Amino acid sequence: MDVVDLFLTVGFWAATVRMATPLIFGTLGELICERAGVLNLGIEGIMTIGAMSAWMWVYQGGDLWTATLFAAMVGASFGLLHAGFSVYMGLSQHVTGIGITLLASSLSYFVFRIMLPGVTTPPKIEPFAPLPIPLLADIPVLGPALFIQSPLTYIALSLVGVVAYILYRTPVGLAVRMVGENPMAVEAQGIDVFAVRTGAVAVGSALMAVGGAFLTISVFDAFYFQMINGRGWICVALVIFASWRPGKALLGAFLFAAFDALQIRVQQASSSLIPYQFYLMMPYLLSIVALIVMSRRAAYPKALLVPFRRGER
Amino acid sequence: MRLEPREETPVWLSASAPLAAIVLALTLCSALIVWAGAPVIDAYLSLASGALGSRFALSETLTRATPLIFTGLAAAVAFRAKLWNIGGEGQLYAGAMAVTWLGTGALTMPPVLMIPFLFLIGAIAGGLLLLVPTALKIYLKVDEVVTTLLLNFVVLLFVNFMLFGPWKDPLAMGWPQAAPVIDEGVLPLLVEKTRLHAGFILALLAALLAWALMRFTRWGYEIRAVGLNPQAAEFAGVPMTATVVRTALISGGLAGAAGVCEVAGLKGYLTLDLSPGFGYTGIAVAMLAGLHPLGVIAAAIFIAGIYNGADSMSRAMDISNYLADVITATALLAVLASALFTRYRLRAG
């Protein structure tokens, strides 16, 4: 198959949008945390436990929408735990995040094993069915690619606008951006810096968890160990790539997913030439390249990684 | 009530903080044991006897602690300089690959030379792997947390490629494993009929050396200065780039040595499951040790004991051995929180 033909196939574009979805959730979630001045390295674990808890909810008889909500709540509670350490106690955000990732992923595996002892092949659930949007789905190529997707994908796409609107057009968004740039000034306005940061980390973590849930209740129908497979870390890279802007985050997620969808197809077409492991390395190497390109002029939120302590300068 | 920074931390307090954190972690995790439907006391007793209950159990725990001491030291040294090396896992495999490259027949030397040589090339491989993200950090301001994390996946895929491709041992009955290390390169056993090998002694030596380096030498002083206050350090004339590069080489080298131990000491050959996350667990070890190189020894033995104990507990009582990972993560967070009590005190009013 010719590479040019590839870009014209509906399957390629549909796969791109599908693969971008968890990255959009994760990147937006991380972006909200970092805009408020908190690096959330719990993302990998929070996505894992989101994937596990949503799947388990459905497997126990719950429906898909409450499962999504449940995953979001589980994610938010790990966000609160993160904030307790990184915001209220002002401890190292790096180590807290790694700790949250270790805790959330090991708890996911432990709970899965306790609730389903002795299972060798992962049991399956009935995931979200693609929801065609009337009329729009009939547009050639673009229609089936963009408008016959999982409902969660539509939510992810609209969230980009919602997050951008809230961040740039509402007082809450202003407060979130300010605690990430100049918390002292926010304090001077009588706003509780701790509360704003905690809220941002909780909401961001909820989005990350939904990104994980998308994998188990929309793309696949089962929970596998190690299934997040570095997607969380890629989201952290994408936030820097996107210069902490939701619109660019969407672009980054799409570029990334398109590249991923492309490498899978090229891999299938030319498996004998280059071993598949090198294709699988591509997303990670691409993230590193993206970081190298963008880091020199990256405008980090000024108070990122800086704990705020009342009455201290 | 408010928190007030302490002028100085009493020794008894800094020493008891990790112990309190461990007790807290075990208490919290007992809820999971109850949920799993097992008696808590019996479960922990079974865990303890699996970790230390017999000569064999103890030897297994020390065997497992060996790579953890190395990866724990790797994290402790790097974190002191605020170089966030989360790539211990990848560096461990880099060390293991170096051993496989030159230690499986390409070169032959008497053991006195061969074993130090393997550690040297393993450490160089690990150090060089960390040098890439470090150079990116220094010259292009690329955040090293994300790059070291991402490189772990790249290295593991490369090992996967080598083991299914060029390095696949035709004598391994189809298993993806490399050829065994030649006899001259195998670390001798310390105790008959156990798996405890000389790597454990080397790990203890490495911890002593790292402690002496950090405590008594100019390099160690510079590493600590860069971590505490980079601006002040630079102003005082500490060579920033050289110090960070040195830290990276030492930290990556230590993690690479963990890989050498596992290949040349324990397994004998490179496999895909050489490390069940030793690189990541090393971070918990380092934090539990308060980033103190000698504390790393105790912390690594403790964590190794938890993992080995959980294995035997899971066989005896049907509780998933992922409990060990949960305990480790909880202990990491608890010890982090305990810093509040060592660095601050509660004051009324």
Task: Write the secondary structure of B268-332 as one string of H (helix), E (strand) and C (coil).
Answer: CCCECCCCCCHHHHHHHHHHHCCCCHHHHHHHHHHHHHHHHHHHHHHHHHCCCCCHHHHHHHHHH
pLDDT at B198 over 70: yes
A96 touches B at CB < 8 Å = yes
Which DSSP helix (H) or strand (E) runs through B3? strand B2-5
* Integer Cα distance of A80 and A42 in angstroms: 11
- CB-nearest partner of A95 from B136, B287, B320: B287
A88 touches B at CB < 8 Å = no
**Domains identified in chain B, total number:** 1
Residue-averaged pLDDT of chain B: 92
Position A7 confidence tier, pLDDT thresholds 50, 70, 90: low
- CB-nearest partner of A291 from B35, B147, B319: B147
Phi and psi at residue B75, to the nearest 5°: -70, -40
Using the beta-carbon criterion (under 8 Å), do B146 and A233 form an inter-chain contact? yes
Give Cα separations from B132 to A288, B143, B149 (angstroms).
11, 12, 12
pLDDT at B349 over 60: no
- Report the pLDDT value the prediction gives residue A144, as an integer from 0 to 100: 78
Mutation target for B interface from A240, A295, A312: give the one with most B CBs within 10 A: A295
Chain B CB contacts of A102 under 8 Å are 280, 284, 325, 328-329, 332
- Report the pLDDT value the prediction gives residue A275, as an integer from 0 to 100: 84
Angle at A154 between CA A150 and CA A158, to 5 degrees: 165
A307 touches B at CB < 8 Å = no
Using the beta-carbon criterion (under 8 Å), do B143 and A295 form an inter-chain contact? yes
- Report the pLDDT value the prediction gives residue B284, as an integer from 0 to 100: 94
Mutation target for A interface from B132, B150, B346: give the one with most A CBs within 10 A: B150
Whether B199 is in a domain gets the answer yes
- Report the pLDDT value the prediction gives residue A118, as an integer from 0 to 100: 76
* Integer Cα distance of A17 and A36 in angstroms: 28
- The candidate with the shortest Cα–Cα distance to A229, out of B8, B172, B153, B53, is B153
* Integer Cα distance of B119 and B114 in angstroms: 9
- Report the pLDDT value the prediction gives residue B82, as an integer from 0 to 100: 93
- Report the pLDDT value the prediction gives residue A265, as an integer from 0 to 100: 80
Whether B46 is in a domain gets the answer no
pLDDT at B196 over 80: yes
- Report the pLDDT value the prediction gives residue A5, as an integer from 0 to 100: 64
Using the beta-carbon criterion (under 8 Å), do A284 and B32 form an inter-chain contact? no
ipTM over 0.85: yes
- Report the pLDDT value the prediction gives residue A273, as an integer from 0 to 100: 75
Using the beta-carbon criterion (under 8 Å), do A237 and B150 form an inter-chain contact? yes
- The candidate with the shortest Cα–Cα distance to B329, out of A104, A88, A76, is A104
Q: For chain A, how big is the Rg over CA atoms in Å?
A: 20
Specify the range with the lowest mean pLDDT, choosing from A45-49, A144-148, B189-193.
Answer: A144-148
- Taking only the tens place, the pLDDT of each residue in B56-95 is 999 999 999 999 999 999 999 999 999 999 999 999 999 9
- Taking only the tens place, the pLDDT of each residue in A44-83 is 999 999 999 999 999 999 999 999 999 999 999 999 999 9
For residues B123-137, give the mean pLDDT. 97
For residues A108-119, give the mean pLDDT. 89
Position B225 confidence tier, pLDDT thresholds 50, 70, 90: very high
User: Is A210 or A135 the better-scoring residue by pLDDT?
Assistant: A210
Whether B2 is in a domain gets the answer no
A47 touches B at CB < 8 Å = no
Query: In chain A, which residue's Cα lies nearest the Cα of B157?
Result: A277
Which DSSP helix (H) or strand (E) runs through A7? none
Cβ–Cβ under 8 Å, residues B317 and B307: no
- Report the pLDDT value the prediction gives residue A130, as an integer from 0 to 100: 87
- Report the pLDDT value the prediction gives residue B345, as an integer from 0 to 100: 75
What 8-state DSSP symbol labels residue B197?
B
Cβ–Cβ under 8 Å, residues A106 and B277: no
Whether B187 is in a domain gets the answer yes
Using the beta-carbon criterion (under 8 Å), do B136 and A91 form an inter-chain contact? no
- Report the pLDDT value the prediction gives residue A235, as an integer from 0 to 100: 96
Chain B CB contacts of A277 under 8 Å are 157-158, 160-161, 164
Chain B CB contacts of A110 under 8 Å are 32, 320, 322-323, 325-326
For residues B283-294, give the mean pLDDT. 94
Chain A CB contacts of B165 under 8 Å are 275
Whether B10 is in a domain gets the answer no
Amino acid (1-letter code) at residue A191: I
pLDDT at B159 over 90: yes
Amino acid (1-letter code) at residue A204: G
What proportion of chain A, given as a percentage, has pLDDT over 70?
Answer: 96
For residues A230-258, give the mean pLDDT. 94
* Integer Cα distance of A1 and B104 in angstroms: 42
* Integer Cα distance of B321 and B292 in angstroms: 28
Chain A CB contacts of B320 under 8 Å are 109-110, 113-114, 117
- Report the pLDDT value the prediction gives residue B2, as an integer from 0 to 100: 67
Whether B103 is in a domain gets the answer yes
What proportion of chain B, given as a percentage, has pLDDT over 70?
Answer: 99
* Integer Cα distance of A48 and B99 in angstroms: 34
pLDDT at A16 over 60: yes
Cβ–Cβ under 8 Å, residues A25 and A204: no
Position B216 confidence tier, pLDDT thresholds 50, 70, 90: very high
Which residue range is the domain that position B153 belongs to?
Answer: 73-289
pLDDT at A141 over 80: no
Strands B2-5 and A131-132, how do they pair? Answer: unpaired
Using the beta-carbon criterion (under 8 Å), do A106 and B329 form an inter-chain contact? yes
Position B123 confidence tier, pLDDT thresholds 50, 70, 90: very high
Whether B22 is in a domain gets the answer no
For residues A189-217, give the mean pLDDT. 96
Residue-averaged pLDDT of chain A: 90
Q: How would you class A311 by CB atoms within 10 Å of its CB: exposed for 0-12, middle for 13-18, buried for 19 or more?
A: exposed
Query: In chain A, which residue's Cα lies nearest the Cα of B331?
Result: A99
Phi and psi at residue A129, to the nearest 5°: -85, 150
Coil, strand or helix at B347:
strand
Chain B CB contacts of A234 under 8 Å are 150
* Integer Cα distance of A63 and B318 in angstroms: 30
User: What is the number of other CB atoms lying within 10 angstroms of the CB of residue B209?
Assistant: 14
Highest mean pLDDT among A48-52, A129-133, A184-188, A293-297: A48-52
For residues A285-310, give the mean pLDDT. 86
- Chain A with chain B: Cβ pairs closer than 8 A: 126
Using the beta-carbon criterion (under 8 Å), do B141 and A285 form an inter-chain contact? no
For residues B281-309, give the mean pLDDT. 95
Using the beta-carbon criterion (under 8 Å), do A229 and B153 form an inter-chain contact? yes
- The candidate with the shortest Cα–Cα distance to B300, out of B200, B223, B161, is B200
- What CATH topology corresponds to A3-115+143-295? ABC transporter involved in vitamin B12 uptake, BtuC (1.10.3470)
Position B101 confidence tier, pLDDT thresholds 50, 70, 90: very high
- Taking only the tens place, the pLDDT of each residue in B227-244 is 998 889 989 889 999 999
Q: How many CA atoms lie within 13 A of B197 on its CB side?
A: 20
* pTM for the model: 0.94
- Taking only the tens place, the pLDDT of each residue in B299-312 is 999 999 999 999 99
User: What is the number of other CB atoms lying within 10 angstroms of the CB of residue A313?
Assistant: 4
Using the beta-carbon criterion (under 8 Å), do B322 and A109 form an inter-chain contact? yes
For residues B29-51, give the mean pLDDT. 93
